[in-house]
Structure 1
Amino acid sequence: MTPAKPRDRKPPGALWADGLGRVGIRSAQVLLILAVAVVSVYALMQIKLLVIPILIALILAAAIGPFVNLLRRRGLPGAAATGLAFVALLLLLAGVGTVIYFSVRSQWAELAQQASSGLDELEQFLLTGPIPIDREQLNQAREGIIQFATSSQVRSGAITGLSVVTEFLAGSALMVVILFFFLKDGAKIWNFFLRPFSGQREAKLRRVGSRTLEVLGGYVRGTAIVALVDAVAIGAALLILQVPLAFPLAIIIFMTAFIPLVGATVAGILAALVALVANGPVVALIVVAVVIAVNQLEGDLLQPIVMGKSLQLHALVILMALTAGTILAGIIGAVLSVPMAAVIWAVIQVWTAEDPNREDMNPDLPPPNSQPV
């Protein structure tokens, strides 16, 4: 007589076959992916002195790569074209830094005197203005600022700032070396990483490399055009209004414009503060109006025309990338986060065969599901 079989016994794996089981599997997969991403980001942050120079060098190489290719097509050898473009970029950066230094140095005494007068006017306004503030409260606020400036917290911050400067110099030197080799042997380096792959996967990875350079180069060149328009427009307004340090402020506006959404606005606020201290509230309000008008021109006209193809990201995605980059790596993270997000989106499009620029990028690619020749 055979024993009776249990009624509710399910075959192995049946618990994962229903709806709840499938949700559990997907949840475990999502958690695993998130854990890998968090560990990867944490590991990269431990070696950010290497990662950040590599990313900056890659962006610069993508931006000036077409200039190197143009020199090569004109008959220059690869090493000579790379060296010429490399030296031109270094001279440009050094020239900008030199101009900022001497401009600030030549107008610093005048600005300090105007700032002192402006602070005296501000103090007089606080004493006689609609807000009831007496001199005793002002003296207490001044003493509190002096105590904070001489505290151990500020001194420890100065030591931290010195280490940051040291890291910046070391990272800059490393970035220069990496940039030179990217310009000189970028194709060879990418081919070395593609050696383990073949077939359709190799074709996709080659498209990933091409799209990465295309997106980064287009982003940098488009941002440079927008930043130049911002700097020229706001700088011209500062010159007409006779605001001190107009030229250095214009250069700062140009550089901060590489931080999308907020960079040029923050620099415009800095220019308005300088105008408030040196020229009074009326000129400061005019500067604010100019900054707002230029930002509207940038957002409604320049950005869609100049960067419509290279930066196909929603404003919310840009804001989230800026926030994450700033939290992880400060100002450098804010500058690098948006182009990196654009690259990630372009890679996803290539890998899922939804890249809108696929045929324009390389019309000789084989059709999907076929082996390349």
Structure 2
Amino acid sequence: MESNASPEGRAAEPSRPQSLPTRIAALWADGLGRASIRSVQVLSVLALAWVVVQAVTRVPLVLVPVLIASILASAMAPAVRWLAARGWPRALAVLASFLVIVAVVAGVVGGITAVVRDQAGVLAARAEAGIGQLQQFITTGPVALTSDQIDAARGEFQKFLAGGSLGADALTGLRTAGEIAAGTVLTAVILFFFLKDGEKIRSFLIGFLPAAQQGKAHLAAERSIVVLGGYVRGTLIIAAIDAVIVLAGLLILRVPLAVPLAAVVFLGGFIPIIGATAAGSLAVLVALVENGPVTALVVLVILVAANQFEHHILQPLFMGRVLRIHGLVIILALAAGATLAGVIGALLAVPLAAVGWTIYKTLADRDAPGPEPITPAASGTRR
């Protein structure tokens, strides 16, 4: 049966009102709605990241040994593979590598601790005297800051280093000798099992991911191991070279306590860009007290020159394909790590940032094997 309504009549009929779900969906269909949805997603990811950070920073006695063992295992993985490729049983290769790294770490840490401990009182006294002279110069010099302003600035700096839930623990090592011993033993145990069963542990964890993502996850893990291992080996070499340069300069200038001061510089070298120079400020204070302002200025020049040598020569040479991250990113990572976990956070921030960048590149199908510069590389490398 045909309708009697003409086309004009049908056109004049009012359109049916949209349903409420349709009207709500239309609100999110424009540019502002899509931006709002994306903002909610970003806030959700940030909230999840905050929860994870808060959770892991509540268990430093577990987190710190796991991270340290992961870094050391990555550095030793090539040695295990090298021995296994030459016919060593894997268990024997793991045991030999484990004993070597434990002996090296114990020897280096024990030797530096013994050197610094024997002179700790003298170093503290000379540093305090140097700070007193600097404070006197600042308060009577052209700037003429007050003692209260200087004390306030010093307090803010100390608060920055001690910031975060792990700050107190990081500045004092661990709170008790028992926790130190437990952390050391736990690190050794975790390191052994990472060297022995690292591939099985990695495969077990990646097995929780969807099958389509497991291939990329394995590739990201392999690249992360390369980055971590290269970072540790490169940092160790660079820190040793910085310490030798400072030691030679202090011996030539006849500055007292040259060996313990160089040991402090070596430890500071494990914090990129600023670590060795900041640790070397103690040498400047000692030179100021014992040898006068001219020698202290020369020591400062040596520190700055060593920093530039590290920045433009050593880092491109030893970590050219590992730490290819802009200097600003490194500084921000150091600041974030120090705020969250004090000195421990500053030590671990840069390798973790390098690993995070490597994982991101792998998941985003950027096939370069190491972190790339966000802008032309701060370390002086060329693409």
TM interval, shorter chain, is: 0.7 to 0.9
**How many residue pairs align between the two structures?**
330
C-alpha distance in structure 1 between counterparts of 2:172 and 2:233, whole Å: 32
Alpha-carbon shift at residue 251 of structure 1 (Å): 2.1
RMSD: 3.4
Indicate the larger mover: 13-22 or 86-95: 86-95
Secondary structure of the structure 1 residue equivalent to 2:345: helix
Alpha-carbon shift at residue 274 of structure 1 (Å): 1.8
Alpha-carbon shift at residue 216 of structure 1 (Å): 0.5
The answer (yes or no) to whether the contact 1:194–1:205 under 8 Å persists in 2 is yes
Alpha-carbon shift at residue 298 of structure 1 (Å): 1.0
Secondary structure of the structure 2 residue equivalent to 1:26: helix
* Contiguous gaps of at least 5 residues in structure 2: 1-12, 152-167, 371-383
**Aligned ranges for residues 135-284 of structure 1 at < 5 Å?**
161=172, 164-166=175-177, 167-197=179-209, 199-284=211-296
Secondary structure of the structure 2 residue equivalent to 1:91: helix
C-alpha distance in structure 2 between counterparts of 1:112 and 1:220, whole Å: 29
Alpha-carbon shift at residue 327 of structure 1 (Å): 0.7
1:293 equivalent in alignment to 2:309: no
Counterpart amino acid of residue 164 in structure 1: R
- Partner residue in 1 for 2:348: 336
Report the CA distance shift for 1:39/1:196 in structure 2 as closer, same or farther (over 3 A).
Answer: closer
The answer (yes or no) to whether the contact 1:346–1:355 under 8 Å persists in 2 is no
Structure 1 length-normalised TM: 0.78
- Partner residue in 2 for 1:327: 339
CA offset digits 1:173-231 (Å, max 9, x no partner)? 21111011111111111122233456542211110110110110111111122112111
- Partner residue in 1 for 2:365: 353
The answer (yes or no) to whether the contact 1:103–1:245 under 8 Å persists in 2 is no
Report the CA distance shift for 1:113/1:220 in structure 2 as closer, same or farther (over 3 A).
Answer: closer
CA offset digits 1:223-253 (Å, max 9, x no partner)? 1221121111111111222222222222221
- Partner residue in 2 for 1:20: 32
C-alpha distance in structure 2 between counterparts of 1:263 and 1:113, whole Å: 19
- Partner residue in 1 for 2:105: 93
The answer (yes or no) to whether the contact 2:264–2:280 under 8 Å persists in 1 is no
Secondary structure of the structure 2 residue equivalent to 1:164: coil
Alpha-carbon shift at residue 259 of structure 1 (Å): 0.6
Alpha-carbon shift at residue 93 of structure 1 (Å): 2.4
What's the % identity of the aligned pairs? 45
- Partner residue in 2 for 1:305: 317
C-alpha distance in structure 1 between counterparts of 2:51 and 2:191, whole Å: 28
1:58 equivalent in alignment to 2:70: yes
C-alpha distance in structure 2 between counterparts of 1:210 and 1:318, whole Å: 23
Report the CA distance shift for 1:7/1:214 in structure 2 as closer, same or farther (over 3 A).
Answer: same
C-alpha distance in structure 1 between counterparts of 2:93 and 2:16, whole Å: 80
Counterpart amino acid of residue 313 in structure 2: L
C-alpha distance in structure 1 between counterparts of 2:127 and 2:33, whole Å: 71
* Contiguous gaps of at least 5 residues in structure 1: 142-156, 359-373
Secondary structure of the structure 2 residue equivalent to 1:46: coil
C-alpha distance in structure 1 between counterparts of 2:68 and 2:173, whole Å: 22
Report the CA distance shift for 1:210/1:108 in structure 2 as closer, same or farther (over 3 A).
Answer: closer
Structure 2 length-normalised TM: 0.76
CA offset digits 1:63-82 (Å, max 9, x no partner)? 11112222222332222222
1:33 equivalent in alignment to 2:45: yes
CA offset digits 1:49-104 (Å, max 9, x no partner)? 21121111100111111122222223322222222222222222222234334434
The answer (yes or no) to whether the contact 2:337–2:345 under 8 Å persists in 1 is yes
C-alpha distance in structure 2 between counterparts of 1:29 and 1:198, whole Å: 21
CA offset digits 1:326-371 (Å, max 9, x no partner)? 011110100111111111111111001112139xxxxxxxxxxxxx
C-alpha distance in structure 2 between counterparts of 1:248 and 1:178, whole Å: 31
Counterpart amino acid of residue 242 in structure 2: D
CA offset digits 1:297-337 (Å, max 9, x no partner)? 11122222321210121111111111111011110100111
CA offset digits 1:278-314 (Å, max 9, x no partner)? 3332222221111111111111222223212101211
- Partner residue in 1 for 2:160: none
The answer (yes or no) to whether the contact 1:230–1:254 under 8 Å persists in 2 is yes
The answer (yes or no) to whether the contact 1:114–1:277 under 8 Å persists in 2 is no
